[in-house]
Chains A and B, each alone.
Chain A
Amino acid sequence: AQSVTQLDSQVPVFEEAPVELRCNYSSSVSVYLFWYVQYPNQGLQLLLKYLSGSTLVKGINGFEAEFNKSQTSFHLRKPSVHISDTAEYFCAVSGVDSSYKLIFGSGTRLLVRP
């Protein structure tokens, strides 16, 4: 069965500093990988996705993520964060093991301080 692990429940960072949010997945077959962002009292918004091809994918709001098959990771990065990036970030996996449903990690709260 597919699963997603986000080891960091909260990541505090100062404004304009770089950030990396970690995501590891487990699956026996090819997967599709996604990062979603959730602002307070709102639904989830897609940041970026990896389906195939280039392992470095760029998303909205200056975020990017790199798919690493050997390490089964899909870490999210941003070179310089803003206060407005404060939110909950969810990594998700999809594939034949999950009948192409999205399986989410437990989330990482990014807290950007001035």
Chain B
Amino acid sequence: DTGVSQNPRHKITKRGQNVTFRCDPISEHNRLYWYRQTLGQGPEFLTYFQNEAQLEKSRLLSDRFSAERPKGSFSTLEIQRTEQGDSAMYLCASSPPQIGGPYNSPLHFGNGTRLTVT
């Protein structure tokens, strides 16, 4: 178990540029989540995948944001035409499959990618 890996750890970009983050979940974890955390706040849900299917997207995820998880393994989160308000920590988490009953497996988080838009 090597944990959830996120790259890069830090990204500084100018307003209007596009950025892409990568998340490698724990192997055999079929669920993958993206959260955004701003200073002094708890993580806010953005989107999640079960295998390669994107099952839910938050209203926080504007049209400038897109996430993919080809082949149900790693995931990428792209932000187009970045704005200063996009500056935040972007956290990825994964969780294992659960058989039967309501879903209650805890999430395993990566160390995040800190985005600064200047």
Contact = CB atoms under 8 A, between A and B. Distances in A.
B67 to A, nearest CB: 15
Contact of B45 (A6, A41, A101): A101
A9 B40 CA distance: 9
A24 to B, nearest CB: 14
A11 interface: no
B110 A101 contact: no
A34 to B, nearest CB: 6
Contacts of A90: 42-43
A107 B38 CA distance: 12
Interface string B31-65: 00100000011111100100000001000000000
B30 interface: no
Contacts of A42: 111-112
B32 to A, nearest CB: 12
B86 to A, nearest CB: 19
Given A96-B102, A100-B103, A100-B104, A44 B109 contact: yes
State which size class the interface on A falls in. Answer: 20 to 34
Given A99-B56, A101-B48, A101-B56, A34 B41 contact: no
B26 interface: no
B111 A102 contact: no
A100 B112 contact: no
Contact of B107 (A102, A106, A107): A102
B106 A34 contact: yes
Contacts of B112: 42-43
B60 to A, nearest CB: 12
A100 B98 CA distance: 12
A103 B40 contact: no
5 contacts: A41-B114, A94-B104, A101-B56, A103-B45, A105-B42
Given A9-B40, A49-B106, A102-B33, 11 more contacts: A42-B111, A43-B4, A43-B6, A43-B112, A90-B43, A96-B102, A99-B56, A101-B48, A104-B44, A105-B42, A106-B40
Interface of A: 4, 6, 9, 32, 34, 36, 41-46, 49, 51, 90, 92, 94-96, 99-107
